[in-house]
Structure 1
Amino acid sequence: MTAQAPIPVVVNGATGKMGREAVKAIATANDMTLVGAVSRNPELNGQDVGEVLGLAPLEVPFSNDLQASLVMATQERGLPVVVDFTHPDVVYENVRAAIAYGVRPVVGTTGLSAEQLQDLAEFADKASIGVAVIPNFSIGVVLMQQAAIQASQYFDHVEIIEMHHNQKADAPSGTAVQTAQMLAEFGKPFNPPQVEETEKMPGARGSVTPDGIRIHSVRLPGLIAHQEILFGAPGQLYTLRHDTSDRACYMPGVLLSIRKVLPLKSLVYGLDKLL
């Protein structure tokens, strides 16, 4: 029997906080091989990824050319994957480029609009290329969201508080948006008004979804990623909370997504769809 070739993986945004962790995880996974690392920092171009990130030499040079890295990945044995941890301003074009080159994107960058997601889904369908858009790679977050779905059957009032480091570019977080979307799938309206509210300062009550779910965003140094889902009813408060203390907690989900995206022929949204 011929051994299956390792999955060739490119990490786009390899010098960011999540990108660095992804490089480490992929480099030590038995069924994957790191074939490219993209960084916007031109000073790193050509330098060994492992040496720059404080690992053993990986014999993979940094590049600031995503398209060249995608082409290189397609020349490897096996179905190539690109993991994107970049910026909301560029992620849409990154994913479109990957699909066009036949490289399967695993997208951890949040900030894609509903219209962009729809466009990427249609593009993936036409190309028969799997795409995994994952707002949060933590198994704990999936369990929190599933518990919230159960609670939503019994509570009419719910608000979401998400807290992240102050270098996060988008708000609300993709996880909070996804959580609100999951709660809204049952078509139940939330937070029926009790009084006519007045915001003395715009935004004091946070953002609000079409289904009436409030989302509050906190950005502070010292935080990594945290979310609370608060359900209220007369005489009781039910709180679901997930806290992150190390970005390594996301890596099992990243590796799982790389493996699961290979046989897909369309776009999936959320880690729960891959479990």
Structure 2
Amino acid sequence: MIRLGLIGYGKAGAAVACVLKDDPRFDLRWIARRSAQPVEENCRSIALNINTFAEDLARYPVDAIVDFAHADALLIYGEAIRQRGIRLVSAVSNYPPEQLAYLRELSREIPVMASPNITVGINFLMLASRLLRRIAPAADIAILEQHFRDKPEISGTAKKIAASLEMEDEEITSLRLGGIVGQHEVIFGFPHQTVRLIHNSIRREAFGTGAAFAVEQLMALPPGFYTYEQLLERIVREELERESIAPGAKSPCPDSANPPDQGCL
């Protein structure tokens, strides 16, 4: 069982705590927040304080930490987890350059995964979009993001999708409608066909399942700085390799007159 600590207990942090607490793979040992007030998950609460955090970490050791707090929190716990070799999964939406540089410095000694959107679905959508663009670079591409009526700005996730596809923010179409939590869609227009990749956000607990996946993957990796997409790419590569060496696997070349060493055309 993987021992976990959770930093941050806002709306997203509370949803993540609920998921991790119920997952049999993990032992959620504590939740750290600005003040050590009780939390609803019947879990130990500790103060996120630079003067006491190292002592609390020694008293309640963990294998990995999930951070759903804010960029400055890294400066409170960074040295303590470096000294103990604790893995870090960060879902902080935006690190200033100084904190990002410090995060990369930590990754030289411990495994670090940082992603502003930690859901499995949206990261898989970005990976699939990049693959499809490489397969069909001439296809027309559109990005559509839909959110609740009061969201004023373009979705940060939509901007990240656009950047991964080498598109400009001005090419994103935004809709604001009542009853929508959040939806991102990438549309590929081909001659005679259309491909739509869609991700819908339903509940904040999706962050919890995403964090659980990231922690489990990070436990098997050496020190380094990883993105969520890289964790997914690792799974994809393993699956492709498994398919290629599976016993009794058929040759990808159906024409026996075309030897494998000449490739399949």
Give the TM bin, normalised by the shorter chain: 0.5 to 0.7
Contact 1:10 1:73 in 2 (8 A): no
**Contact 1:84–1:105 at 8 Å: present in 2 too?**
yes
2:119 maps to 1:147: no
Q: How far apart are the structure 2 equivalents of 1:179 and 1:67? A: 39
Q: Label 1:130 to 1:164 Cα distance change in 2 as closer, same or farther (>3 A).
A: farther
Q: Which amino acid aligns with 1:268?
A: Y
Gaps of 5+ in 2: 236-265
Cα distance in 1 between the residues matched to 2:140 and 2:146? 20
Aligned amino acid, residue 46 of structure 1: Q
* Alignment: residue pair count: 226
CA distance 1:217–1:272, shift in 2 (3 Å): farther
Scaled by the length of structure 2, the TM-score of the pair is 0.67
Pairing partner for 2:74 from 95, 116, 120 = 95
- Whether 2:260 is the aligned partner of 1:265: answer no
Which structure's CA Rg is the greater one?
Answer: 2
Residue among 208, 213, 221 paired with 1:256: 213
Who is 2:110 aligned against?
129
- 1:229 aligned onto 2:229: no
Give distance in 2, aligned partners of 1:100 and 1:170. 35
Counting only pairs closer than 5 Å after superposition, residues 1-275 of structure 1 correspond to structure 2 as 6-14=1-9, 16-40=10-34, 45-47=36-38, 49=39, 53=40, 55=41, 57-58=42-43, 60-61=44-45, 63=47, 65=49, 68-69=52-53, 71-79=55-63, 81-86=64-69, 90-91=70-71, 93-102=72-81, 103-112=86-95, 115=97, 119-126=101-108, 128-153=109-134, 154=136, 155-165=138-148, 171-173=154-156, 175-184=157-166, 207-208=169-170, 214-217=171-174, 222-232=179-189, 237-262=194-219, 263-274=221-232, 275=235
Q: Contact 2:127–2:229 at 8 Å: present in 1 too?
A: no
The one-letter amino acid paired with 1:246 is: R
| CA displacement at 1:7 relative to structure 2 | 3.2
Q: Deviations over 1:114-164 (max 9, x none)?
A: x457514531244x1111113333333243223322332324532323334
* Pair 157,70 (structure 1): closer, same or farther in 2 beyond 3 Å: farther
Distance 1:164 1:116 in 2: 31
Percent identity (aligned): 19
Gaps of 5+ in 1: 1-5, 185-189, 191-205, 209-213
Q: Distance in 2 between matches of 1:223 and 1:70?
A: 42
Kindly tell me: are residues 146 and 259 of structure 1, through their superposed partners in 2, closer, same or farther at Cα, counting changes over 3 Å? Answer: closer
Q: For the structure 1 residues 229 and 67, does the alpha-carbon distance in structure 2 shift closer, same or farther, using more than 3 Å as the test?
A: farther
Which whole-Å CA distance do the structure 2 matches of 1:65 and 1:259 have between them? 27
Separation of aligned partners in 2, 1:101 and 1:27: 24
Residue 61 of structure 1 aligns to a residue whose secondary structure is strand
